Chain A
Amino acid sequence: MNNAIEISVKNLNLWFGKFQALKNISIDIQKNQVTALIGPSGCGKSTFIKTLDRMNDLVDNVKTTGEVLYQGTNILDSDTDVVELRKQIGMVFQKPNPFPKSIFDNVAYGPRVHGVRKKQNLNEVVERSLKAAALWEEVKDRLNESALRLSGGQQQRLCIARLLAVEPEVLLMDEPASALDPIATSKIEDLIYELKNDYTIIIVTHNMQQAARVATNTAFFYLGELVEYAPTIDLFERPRDKRTEDYVTGKFG
């Protein structure tokens, strides 16, 4: 692992009320790489990723300890500008959630919210983002149509374009392809592979083949613990922990 570190997590613990969902997680996420988080359902992967952009704040009764260092500061501090943070660290959800607006307005939403007003600038940003999300060719003639009319795969790429329009550094993806058919899934995976050159990507997936296909490094979560973290090839072919081995060989999951 020789890239710079983008996010450094140290001793992260998280409780939902009395239930401890994350146990002493420490992990360094490399810049401009794809890091996959795998593990059985309910073992903390989504919770972890949501901690990184403080989306867990939306849930009641959450307590966290530990540090998440990004750009030199601990983003878990209460005086962190969460709004600015989420601009830098954007999230794509499992179920595509385009706004009930036109395709153009969906992508332009982010820039508009951050102050970009001029029509020309917006047009440029929208085109750039849709191209980066590999969606431009398919929608360039119907930018004013409702985004809800797109197929599932297109909607998800739209959500990605929406994020790219605010120029984040980090992309968090929570099972981005699990609601999509195989063809759409492979398009998303190709996209992720492309994007990693410019962004740091963390992707939660329950599909091990997907992790193997796109991720440089993979982390295996089990029951709230980070069991093993290694370059993807190493994790799958030479797992060091028995639990990892059991999972990747399909003994449970």
Chain B
Amino acid sequence: MEAKRRELVPLALLWGAGIATLVILIILLAYILANGLPVISWHFLTGEPALWGQTGGGIYSTIVATLAVTGISLLVAAPLSVGGAIYLNEYTKETPLRMVIRQAAEILAGIPSIIVGLFGFLFFVIYLAPLTGGWSMISGGLTLAFMVLPISLRTSEEALKTVPTELREGSLGIGATKWQSITTVVLPTALPGIITGLILGVGRAVGETAAILLTAGGSLNLIHSLRDPGRPMTLNIYDVLSEYRDTTTAYGTAAVLIIAILAITLITDWLMNNYTKKLKGL
């Protein structure tokens, strides 16, 4: 029929849109990995960066720096987000305070990284310099925490929400206190969801550059303490490209980053699927 034939064009366009999106991703990944994987070697991962303009160095110090800032941000963001989620979900009623905290988290989630970086610069690098060491891993990590927090707070809250009220009631019904119920019943049930959210936050922290640019310092030297400046992998890509046009190292670093983040994404997806399956099986 004529109507069916006219249907084919929009249908084809829609399929095209889906395929195009997929193709974009594939091109991106293929390009980076094709050029970057050959660069990766044991030496690359564990060696020190070459000095000033020479190629052939490793990215060990950048890996350490990435781990340092990510670790610090997680250390700060995890308790805050889990604690915050518990507070919001288990203790307060729909008071204005709750709305304020929620709104604040929403706003924070939307703030561009460079502005968070500016704030981090002002607060951690300049103002709190004696504590943080100025440009340092601590400054970078604490700044990153602000970016991880909104995500992990929201996902933790969602995870807590999915715990059925019957569980809480059952626990309270046998005389446990609210806090006991939370720690022994609610949290364990919500844990997979919470962890997924934290991992998502980690993914974001690992990939963050602009905020790091303004707070972590950029030094290639291997850090000896958390108050030292350092250069995480993301920053390294930018720096080696703009300063030395060292595309080799950049490709390698980018490949490592992509693999790490893909792994994180896949693990998160897999965890989420398992989690929802387990809930349905409940």
Are A and B in direct contact (Cβ within 8 Å)?
A: yes
Residues of A within 8 Å of B, CB-based: how many? Answer: 3
Min Cβ gap A142→B in Å is: 32
Q: Is A181 part of the binding interface, using a Cβ–Cβ cutoff of 8 Å?
A: no
| B-chain residues with CB within 8 Å of residue A83 when the two chains form the complex | 1, 3-4
Interface residues of B in 1-35 (CB under 8 A from A): 1, 3-4
Min CB distance B6 to A, Å, is: 10
A81-B4 Cα distance, complex, nearest whole Å: 9
- Chain A residues positioned under 8 Å from B3 (CB to CB): 83
Chain B residues within 8 Å of chain A by Cβ, number: 3
Closest to A81 in B: B1
Smallest CB gap from B1: residue in A? A81
Interface majority SS (helix, strand, loop, mixed), chain B: helix
Complex Cα distance A81/B2, Å?
A: 11
Give the CA-CA distance A229 to B3 in the complex, in Å: 38
CB distance from A77 to the nearest CB of B (A): 15
Q: Is A84 an interface residue (CB 8 A)?
A: yes
**Chain A 132-162 per-residue mask, 1 if CB under 8 angstroms from chain B, else 0:** 0000000000000000000000000000000
Cα separation A84 to B3 with both chains bound (whole Å): 9
Identity of the chain A residue whose Cβ is nearest the Cβ of B2 in the assembled complex: A115
Give A240 Cβ to nearest chain B Cβ, in Å.
Answer: 44
A 185-208 contacts with B by CB, 8 A: none
Docked complex Cα distance between A84 and B1 (Å): 9
Query: Which B residues are in CB contact (< 8 Å) with A84?
Result: 1
Chain B residues with CB under 8 Å of A81's CB are 1, 4
Instruction: List A contacts of B1 (CB < 8 A).
Output: 81, 83-84
**B256 to A: closest C-beta gap in Å:** 44
Cα distance, A83 to B1, chains bound together (Å): 10
Query: Whose C-beta in chain B lies nearest to the C-beta of A83?
Result: B3
Q: How far apart sit A54 and B4, CA to CA, in the bound complex (Å)?
A: 17
Q: How far is the CA of A83 from the CA of B7 in the complex (A)?
A: 12
**Which of chain A's residues have a CB closer than 8 A to the CB of B4?**
81, 83
Bound form: Cα–Cα A83–B4 in Å: 9
Shortest CB distance B8–A (Å): 14
B10 to chain A, nearest CB (A): 14
Contact with B along A76-104 (1 / 0, CB 8 A): 00000101100000000000000000000
Separation in Å of the B5 CB from the closest CB of chain A? 12
* In the complex, per-residue mask of A53-91: 1 if CB is within 8 Å of any chain B CB, else 0: 000000000000000000000000000010110000000
Q: How far is the CA of A119 from the CA of B1 in the complex (A)?
A: 26
Nearest opposing residue in chain A for B3, CB measure: A83
Minimal Cβ-Cβ distance residue in A for B7: A83
Chain B residue nearest to A114 in the complex (CB): B3
Taken together as a complex, chains A and B put the C-alpha atoms of A81 and B1 apart, in Å, by 8
Shortest distance between the CB of A179 and any CB in chain B (Å): 31
Q: Cα distance A81–B5 when bound, in Å?
A: 12
Docked pose: A200 CA to B82 CA in angstroms:
62
In the assembled complex, the CB of A79 is this many whole angstroms from the nearest CB of chain B, namely 11
Q: In angstroms, how far is the closest chain B Cβ from the Cβ of A80? A: 11
State in angstroms the CA–CA spacing of A83 and B5 once bound together.
Answer: 13
**8 Å CB interface, B248-280 against A:** none
Please give me the residue from chain B that is nearest to A87 by CB atom. Answer: B3
Q: With both chains docked as a complex, state the minimum distance between the C-beta of A221 and any C-beta of chain B, in angstroms.
A: 34
Nearest CB on B from A84, distance (A): 7
Q: How distant is the Cα of A150 from the Cα of B1 in the complex, in angstroms?
A: 37
**Nearest Cβ on chain B to A219's Cβ, whole angstroms:** 33
Taking the closest CB of chain A, its distance from the CB of B159, in whole angstroms, is 30
In the complex, what's the smallest C-beta–C-beta distance from A66 to chain B, in angstroms? 25
CA distance A84 to B4 in the complex (A): 10
What CA separation (Å) do A9 and B3 show in the bound complex? 28
Expressed in whole angstroms, the Cα–Cα distance for A197 and B213 within the complex equals 78
State which residues 103-158 of B face A: CB under 8 Å: none
Bound-complex Cα distance A246 to B17 (A): 59
Q: Which residues of B contact A (CB under 8 A)?
A: 1, 3-4
The 3 closest A-B pairs by CB, nearest first: A81-B1, A83-B3, A84-B1
The interface of chain A, by Cβ under 8 A from chain B, is 81, 83-84
Between A and B, 6 residue pairs with Cβ closer than 8 Å are: A81-B1, A81-B4, A83-B1, A83-B3, A83-B4, A84-B1
